[in-house]
Chains A and B, each alone.
Chain A
Amino acid sequence: MKQQNQRLEEHLITKKPYYLATGSEIEIALAAHKNGLPLLLKGPTGCGKTRFMQFLAWKLKLPLITVSCHDDLSTSDLVGRYLIRSGEAVWTDGPLTLAVRHGAICYLDEIVEARKDTTVVIHPLADDRRELPVEKRGELLSAPPDFMISVSYNPGYQSVLKDLKPSTRQRFVALSFDYPEAKMETAIVLREGHVTQEVAESLVKLAEMTRSLKESGLAEGASTRLLIQTGQLLSSGIDIHTACRAALIEPLSDDPELLGALQEMVSSVF
């Protein structure tokens, strides 16, 4: 138990993460937590979903256990398994069980990447039962009031095989995220990217330009995260055109014509 507490401590966020609210998402999330409701965050990549969870965990003073979902994730990976330690079988809680047991926040990032048979394990946790059956131990864990489950996904992906089942989807309080409006995004890039106001404004302008290119074949425009990364390269002394190319343009596309057009935008803006 001591060891588990220690594991849990590691997930506690002690330093206030920087998060700039764009709407009433914090109030909604706090109300959802108060009422024991699960959260579904949807939005494009790099718009601040994970940062929001960190902020929420910090605000609630609860540990945040994040699981990045992938298609090999099994139920045991979430719930837990027996392991042999010095010849003895020892039960080890999975991240979900750990969170339920100790009233932490469990955040399943990119839930659509996990197989559908895995995700059904969260169903009893995500409705008013709020319980987790641990079959191997014959246990039925009831979640304490502090426990919260939260999942995220990006609805912009065009794969038909990656979608949430309605039965999963309809258990959550959903918060829709998008890139913040220009002024806020500038403030974020300014702070996190350590650049000047002028550079931050230009980076945001550039991002808006790339985001309007969906009709020209760009799947997704530059995210706030990419802008911050570009800013960080800049503040480490990389020249602006190189930084934009490496951190902003190349990650967006492999199409030579689009890359050319994006490069032209950069050279126009800076």
Chain B
Amino acid sequence: MRPATLAKRFYDLVAPDIPNEWDVEEVLDPFADESEAICEAALGHVPVIWPVSHSLCYDFLRLLPKALRTLSIEQVPRWIGITLDLYETKGLRAAQRFMQDDLKEYLAKLDGSGGLPLSIAGKQLLPYIRGIARDDLRIAVSRQCFTDTKTIFVPDEISFSENIDENFLFYKLILTFQWGFIVCNSFLSSPNKTRDLVDFFQGFASPHLASSIYQNLESIRVRVFLNQELPGLMRAAEKHIFSKLRDRFHKISPLSALQFAIIVNKEDMAALLSEILNSNDRNAFITGQASPHDSMRITEALCQDIKQEQDTELLVKTFSFQGVFKLSTVVTAGKIKEQQMGEELSDLMATHLLSLSKKELAKLMQEDQDKKSGNILAESDISMIVDSEFAGTAKEEPDAPLLVTINNQEIDLPPELEAFSKTFLKEFGHLPAKFISSAAGKAGKLMLEQDITGSTKTEQTPEGNAGIFYDEWDYRRQGYRKNWCTLHCKSLTPVYSSFIRNTLDKYHGLTIRLRHQFEMMRSQEHFVKRQREGDDIDFDALVESISDTKAGLPGSDRLFIRLQRDERDIAVLFLVDMSNSTTGWINRALKESLVLMAEAMEVLGDRYGIYGFSGMRRSRCEFFHVKHLEESYGDKVKERLTSITPSEYTRMGPAIRHATNILQDVDAKARLIITLTDGKPEDYDDYKGQYAIEDTRHALLEAKTADIHPFCITIDQEAKEYMKHMYGPANYIFIDDVRKLPVRMPEIYRALTC
């Protein structure tokens, strides 16, 4: 087709737009030599792409001739379809990248082979890496691989090879390698030190190069560590990944040896490293003796040797499984942890200060009260001195005493607090004064509160609706705040909808299976021996009775055996967290699981009640009725269940106390409270952190004292940190995917009660 004809056709297609002549010429010229069919194909797609994005349309025309070397004309519409989808979901850049770079991957997919998405691999990878790391690491999606030490970021799909197993292995390698950086201490031990590392790189003419060299040196350390720790994985990686990477490897500078050393065997690694390192350093690296500080020292030395005129960006690169070092995210994650641990420390310290006798405490705070007109201790006036020598030698002398001084008064720390402080010191290298002084502040405030309260500090409840008062546990004063919370019982307004029907349709197969399973549980039949009446003779009893008679004793008349159904006699309350964090999928999954549970319970015959809880502040804790214990599972209940919606906060203590109250009057062999939640207890006021956890724990202890078993089903990823403390190790279960909740909940109930 002649260029002029092509251009005319193009202008007609895009009218009334008038595109720039130069652009049109540039993209259409190459088509002059193409066949009629290709020109038609190209022009045929213009009306589809042009209205979406002009720029994308030019890109399409520019790339089509090249793409047609690998794509057939029939495959072009699908190719464009994906590009436009990407444009609409991820923007122009993503669509352009797909057209330009990802064509090969796209072709692999067309062949039915190719990439492995994280959504499929993740189900195995998460427990894998958690097991390997013996830590609750998380996996998240990002284009580049990196870790902030709490989460490992990986691409949402791996297309290293056409073989799905090799792609899975690649995922494993990425995760394990990133974990390797964490254990091998590549980011140094504390946020402050990580920040020093950032400064260290900034000190170079090319921070990027310094960071790449450091990362490669650290990767060699990680590789050596993994060779020892996980030899199986390294063998598999050598066979399926490293060998391929070696084939594709281009040595771009002498420094590339550093990168290449990561993917070769031990002998070759030694040979490669001797090109760059002296023999001492080389030996330290290949024997696993090297430290991050060695890597820093060598980075410094290598950077000095580089001539100014060299293009430093190109001197050394990293493999995709090594990812990148994003030190700022590591610092942030570390800071968050430091803050959390700091607050915990400050709470513990405040508790300890309060446990001192009033005299001691008053003495401690005397100076301040002299200075200040107000009664509350000013945080800034508390001096905190941790024996500075100790801070430096924390690692060498773990048994050295820890001295904390407030207002020149030395304080002895109880063992628990001392152990926690030492862990903190070990992890972060220092005890920040702000946490200690805030502890003193808290203690001072509470002391005053204790003096004043007891009588005057109860909040007025709204008139007309008196509510029920519950005490709340204050761990800092090791006592209850009397009548602290007001709980209002409400009934949810029934809402008619197709939710129940839809849920039952959705889980049709599961419901049938559950009914069957629960029916089996109900009819737990067994033979009861030694009965006065029964279906059959109990031979053991008969023999025994005859023997007794022979021995001169009166023989027993309990000689029959009877088939008896086990009386389950269980009463259970389901407490549903209705805080606003349960919005969306979580709320839906919670309700779906309740529907399935209710269906199963109807078959089983255990008495059960369903209640929701939420509220805001201590004066308005709300307890919503969905189904009372003795109520039948009728339409009204179903409608109330449908109307469970996220509301406000999670003040768990009063809800558990009220549930305990309800169950206390119920006569049953076993009584249970099963809480369904998505996170920590928390309210709008100071009901947070350790205070909330300790109050909930106390409410649970009260339930246990009343011979009621509390159990919790949580979907909070961080549950381990506090659940074990709150519920006890065997009394909670974590579900990693909220979508599994409807399936898992009846299973959990079954395991709990059989």
Interfacial residues, chain A to chain B (CB-CB below 8 A): 72, 74, 76, 81-84, 87-91, 136, 155-161, 205, 208-210, 212-218, 257-258, 260-262, 264-270
Contacts and interface: CB of A to CB of B under 8 A. Distances in A.
A210 B132 CA distance: 8
A266 B235 CA distance: 13
Contact of B547 (A82, A213, A262, A264): A82
A264 B172 contact: yes
B725 interface: no
Which residue, of A83, A205, A212, A213, has the highest number of chain B Cβ atoms within 10 A? Answer: A212
Contact of A82 (B128, B544, B754): B544
A209 B132 contact: yes
Contacts of A157: 730
A158 B546 CA distance: 43
Nearest to A198: B231
B126 A89 contact: no
A264 B548 CA distance: 62
Given A210-B131, A216-B126, A260-B124, A268 B751 contact: no
B15 interface: no
A266 B526 CA distance: 42
Given A161-B753, A268-B176, A91 B736 contact: no
Given A83-B547, A215-B136, A268-B230, A262 B131 contact: yes
B250 interface: no
18 contacts: A74-B529, A81-B544, A83-B543, A83-B547, A89-B547, A89-B549, A158-B751, A160-B753, A161-B753, A161-B754, A208-B134, A216-B130, A216-B736, A217-B734, A218-B127, A257-B124, A261-B128, A267-B236
A261 B736 CA distance: 14
Nearest to B135: A212
Nearest to B717: A215
Given A81-B547, A257-B124, A270 B752 contact: no
- The 9 A-B pairs at the shortest CB distance, nearest first, are namely A82-B547, A89-B550, A268-B233, A261-B127, A209-B131, A89-B551, A89-B547, A216-B127, A160-B709
Given A209-B132, A212-B133, A267-B236, 19 more contacts: A74-B530, A81-B544, A83-B543, A83-B547, A136-B548, A155-B730, A156-B729, A158-B751, A161-B754, A209-B131, A210-B131, A214-B720, A215-B719, A215-B734, A216-B734, A218-B127, A265-B131, A268-B232, A269-B233
A159 B753 contact: yes
A266 B709 CA distance: 37
Interface in B120-145: 123-128, 130-136
Nearest to A157: B730
Interface in B160-208: 172, 176
B127 A89 contact: no
Nearest to A91: B551
B574 to A, nearest CB: 14
A159 B736 contact: no
A160 B134 CA distance: 29
B320 to A, nearest CB: 19
A90 B547 CA distance: 7
B64 interface: no
B227 to A, nearest CB: 12
Nearest to A257: B123
Interface residues of B, number: 51
B606 to A, nearest CB: 12
B731 A268 contact: no
B711 interface: yes
Interface in B534-556: 543-544, 546-551, 553
B116 interface: no
A158 B730 contact: yes
Contacts of A74: 529-530
A217 B126 CA distance: 11
A158 B131 CA distance: 22
B352 to A, nearest CB: 27
Nearest to B171: A264
Given A160-B709, A257-B123, A84 B550 contact: yes
B284 interface: no
Contacts of B229: 205
A160 B752 contact: yes
B670 interface: yes
Given A160-B711, A215-B720, A267-B232, A82 B132 contact: no
Given A215-B720, A269-B232, A258 B127 contact: yes
B672 interface: yes
Given A212-B135, A213-B130, A261-B127, A268 B172 contact: yes
Contacts of B233: 267-269
Contacts of A82: 544, 547-548, 550-551, 553
Nearest to A88: B550
A270 B229 CA distance: 9
A258 B124 CA distance: 7
A256 B348 CA distance: 43
B127 A84 contact: no
Contacts of A215: 130, 136, 719-720, 734, 736
A214 to B, nearest CB: 8
Contacts of B731: 158
A237 B720 CA distance: 40
Interface in B475-509: none
A164 B93 CA distance: 64
Contact of A212 (B130, B544, B670): B130
Contact of B543 (A84, A155, A269): A84
A261 to B, nearest CB: 4
A256 to B, nearest CB: 9
Interface in B210-267: 229-233, 236
B550 A257 contact: no
Contacts of B232: 266-270
Given A209-B131, A216-B127, A269 B547 contact: no
A88 B551 CA distance: 8
Nearest to B176: A268
B120 to A, nearest CB: 11
Which residue, of A215, A260, A262, has the highest number of chain B Cβ atoms within 10 A? Answer: A215
B369 to A, nearest CB: 47
A205 B229 CA distance: 9
Nearest to B748: A158
Contacts of A260: 123-124
A265 B176 CA distance: 11
Contacts of B544: 76, 81-83
A59 to B, nearest CB: 31
Contacts of A266: 232
A160 B749 CA distance: 10
A268 B176 CA distance: 10
A269 B230 contact: yes
A222 B306 CA distance: 53
A216 B709 CA distance: 23
Nearest to B572: A160
B476 to A, nearest CB: 29
Given A82-B544, A215-B734, A268 B550 contact: no
A146 to B, nearest CB: 29
